[in-house]
Amino acid sequence: MERRLSAVPRPVMAILALALAAHLIVTDSSRAQRAGLENLPPAPNVLYLRASSFGDPIPVAKLMMLYVQAFDLQAANPIPFREMDYDNLITWLRVILLLDPTGQYPLFTASRIYAIVPDQVRSRKMLDFIYTEFFKDPNRRWPWLADAAVIAKHQLNDLPLAQRYAAAVQEKTTSQDIPLWAKQMNAFILEDMNELEQARIMIGGYIASGQIKEPGELRLLEQRLQEIEAKVRKKASRH
């Protein structure tokens, strides 16, 4: 007697999905090796992976993430991740997020590993990937865009890019769980850019909103506002 797929236990379905995904990945990898390629093979098609996952694509996504991370650790692979084809790498990470939209690890590796390579072109590609993916779930993905703002500021020395990322965190997140420091990044980067009036208005708005309940944090923010106001007066006196 034939059984419908819905009657198959979920653990069995997960094992079957993993087996199929492993077959797809290993097949693509073998093709790449036969072709003499040492970089990541092209990412498997997300529609095919979904169809092959029996309705449970998350184990497949986790397997793919493990494969990507292990790729540059293979003894036979002379290409470290900092020299990988980042366009292809980003495609892998994007497919993984499509299979598991609530997963955080692809964006964690993007910001904490792949974006900090000593190569501005590759770093900027990975930061742009983080920025694009952030808008699909701002309240869940804000930590990685906050990381991106820090990288843009301190590693790339690109304050306008850092401010763009910080502004997105400030403007697009709505959860009450977002820490104030993440919301305040934009104001502090504006100060670094010498956009003192904007920074003053922004920090003053935080203080006036009553959102800051911690006395120590409020005191530090008020002190920062005073410092910015002093800079504004000094700047005005020069003109």
- Give average pLDDT by consecutive 10-residue segment, the chain, 239 residues: 43 48 51 50 87 82 87 55 86 96 96 93 97 98 97 96 97 91 92 90 84 81 88 79
8 A C-beta contact, residue 187 and residue 160: no
Q: Could you say which DSSP state residue 54 is in?
A: T
> What is residue 145's three-state secondary structure?
helix
Provide the residue type at 125 as one letter.
K
CB under 8 Å to 53, separation ≥6 — which residues?
17, 20, 21, 59, 60, 99
> What pLDDT, on the 0 to 100 scale, is given for residue 12?
41
205: burial class by Cβ within 10 Å (0-12, 13-18, 19+)? exposed
Buried (b) or exposed (e) across 180-203, using 16+ Cβ within 10 A?
A: eebbbbbbbbbbeeeebeebbebb
- Cβ neighbours of residue 215 under 8 Å, at least 6 residues apart? none
The confidence score (pLDDT) of residue 38 equals: 56
pLDDT attached to residue 74: 53
**How high is the pLDDT of residue 166?**
97
Residue pair 227/187 in contact (Cβ under 8 Å)? The answer is no
Distances (CA, A) of 102 to 43, 96, 178, 184, 214: 20, 10, 17, 25, 31
Using a 10 angstrom Cβ sphere, with 0-12 exposed, 13-18 middle and 19 or more buried, the burial of residue 126 is buried
